[in-house]
Structure 1
Amino acid sequence: MTTERKIVARTGGQTHGPITRLMSPGDLGHLLKPFIFLDYVEAEGSGPQFGFHPHSGIATLTFPLTFDIEHTTSEGQVDVVRKGGVEWVMTGSGIWHKARGLHGDQMRAFQTWFAMPPSHELATPSAQFVQADEVPRSGPVTLLLGKYQELVSKITPPFDVSYLWVELKAGESWTYQPSQTHDIAWLFPQTGTVGVSGSDIARELVVFEEGHASIVVEARTDCRFLLGSAAKLPQSLVMGYYSVHSSEQHLILGERRIKEIGASLKS
């Protein structure tokens, strides 16, 4: 007999203009670390442009669904990730970066922040770009980060995670069995309605009870959704304005470094 994995939290997020914030370090991020922040961007035309801004202590993953992104770092690295690809930035000890949308009439994208274990939160910053044809896929599943069954992402994160993009047709059913090392899991339908754990979910982020039980998703309509699971990170989340670290000491070091970089950019 299969026991439904209970939903313990759900939210439609907070929408400001084209951005819906579904998770942040001050709310669900405490339950779902390493996942600590999730924005969904939905705009017409080129959408918002993100000028130079700093981060430290985290990694960011950007998944553009309908457009290309040009990304520039304060270290002079300029790259383009095509729609359906993945942009991964390890901000480490501190970095500034900016991004702008290219070649799209609509902007649909997700940006996720990840807390870093203390061993990596002050590491040398780096940026990696995986184009759409290099992102692993199997059946309805696209693997954005980590591992899923036989799939392994080209990005090697410093934590145990599976981050999936799943597309189902109406009437289809899909079962996700997380790794036995994963104790947290969540899901967010970008389009359509899914039945999961006794509820019909549309455009809400749902958090499942901690554990290793499977998650059964039934597509009420054609649908596309994010699903994340991971081994929960044990550290605290100490927050600055642009930075998240595991301790006040590390936050001070990260914010000091991004201030130094900011001063050099203005000189």
Structure 2
Amino acid sequence: MSPVKATIKQIINKIAGSPAYIRGEILDQLKPFALFDAGVIAQPELTIDWHPHSGVATITFPYDADLNHADSEGNGDTIKSRGLQWMASGSGVWHKENYVAQQDHIGILQLWLLLPPAEETTPVHYFNLQPDEVPQVENVRILLGEYKGVKAAAPISHNVSYLHICIKKGQVFDWQLPRGQTRGFAYPLTGSLSISGQIFHAEQLALLQEYPSSQRVELSITAESDSEFVLALTEPWTYDIVSQYGQIHTNSSALEIGKQKIKLLGNTLAKYQTTG
């Protein structure tokens, strides 16, 4: 079967006052990507206080800012600008985030990946990568997955690609998409890009047309101006979704396990803060 050229199915614009791009029916077209919050905040510091997750992996990419992280598992780290944090919450975790701008603004990309039944009630899996720990091939940094035979620094069990790419005006990023990764998006942090002649700009999300898993797909992204962007690809999600706030699972039993763990951790955290 001859490869087809990737096209854009829909361009999703930012809504004023909201960082969320995966909204409404877009979730059905991108899951297991369950959330993508992105954008620039014009302030020198931002703190997101203690809050819980279970059943999802939160994947955070700070840019033009450093991320200070703490969680109920005892992890406490600073992830420098354009590094990566992975926190697969499993049966439950509380964490807080503090972002400190390098100049006068904070850039944040946060992607949520649903965990399958085998992982959604397991212990927390956490790692972070500093910018110089992210493998790079030419102008492509491999945050997750693999590109041109080079694997990401930290392996995960999911069929996912997450790339950070910088290209100059007129340059073209060409790639045959990995087998099975039939849904995904491109998002420019800066600049303007085009796919099959359709142009999209910074802070617009280009939802890619999905093809059957047997179809080979060639993706060509042209820089209409100097651009920095991320490309996220995944295989389709085959499970149900049962959710409550930041807890997302495949069934009500797993959600209940997460709720109980979150409650227990929350009580312990509150007691520690009171006595501590």
TM (normalized to structure 1)? 0.93
Q: Deviations over 1:205-225 (max 9, x none)?
A: 121222241111111111111
1:41 is aligned to 2:64: no
1:241 is aligned to 2:245: yes
Q: By how many angstroms is 1:2 displaced?
A: 6.9
Q: Who is 1:210 aligned against?
A: 210
Q: Deviations over 1:208-255 (max 9, x none)?
A: 222241111111111111111122221122211111111122112111
Question: What amino acid is aligned across from residue 93 of structure 1 in structure 2?
Answer: S
Q: Who is 1:222 aligned against?
A: 226
Q: Who is 2:174 aligned against?
A: 175
Q: By how many angstroms is 1:124 displaced?
A: 0.2
Question: What amino acid is aligned across from residue 84 of structure 2 in structure 1?
Answer: V
Structure 2 residues without counterparts, runs of 5 or longer: 272-276
Q: Distance in 1 between matches of 2:252 and 2:154?
A: 28
Instruction: Tell me, yes or no, if the aligned pair for 2:53 and 2:94 is still in contact at 8 Å.
Output: yes
- Which residue of the other structure, out of 85, 91, 96, is the alignment partner of 1:93? 91
Q: Who is 1:124 aligned against?
A: 123
Q: Distance in 1 between matches of 2:218 and 2:70?
A: 40
Question: What amino acid is aligned across from residue 82 of structure 1 in structure 2?
Answer: K
Q: By how many angstroms is 1:3 displaced?
A: 4.2
User: What is the aligned residue count?
Assistant: 264
Instruction: Tell me, yes or no, if the aligned pair for 1:28 and 1:36 is still in contact at 8 Å.
Output: no
Q: Distance in 2 between matches of 1:182 and 1:88?
A: 20
- Of the structure 1 ranges 219-228 and 149-158, higher mean CA displacement relative to structure 2 is found in 149-158
TM (normalized to structure 2)? 0.90
Question: Cα RMSD over matched residues?
Answer: 1.7
Instruction: Tell me, yes or no, if the aligned pair for 2:175 and 2:220 is still in contact at 8 Å.
Output: yes
Identity over aligned pairs, percent: 28
Q: Distance in 2 between matches of 1:41 and 1:49?
A: 16
Q: Deviations over 1:84-107 (max 9, x none)?
A: 211111100000000112352221
Instruction: Give the ranges of 4+ consecutive aligned residues of structure 1 lying more than 3 Å apart after TM superposition.
Output: 1-4
Instruction: Tell me, yes or no, if the aligned pair for 2:68 and 2:77 is still in contact at 8 Å.
Output: yes
Q: Distance in 2 between matches of 1:220 and 1:103?
A: 28
Q: By how many angstroms is 1:41 displaced?
A: 3.3
SS in 2 for 1:235: coil
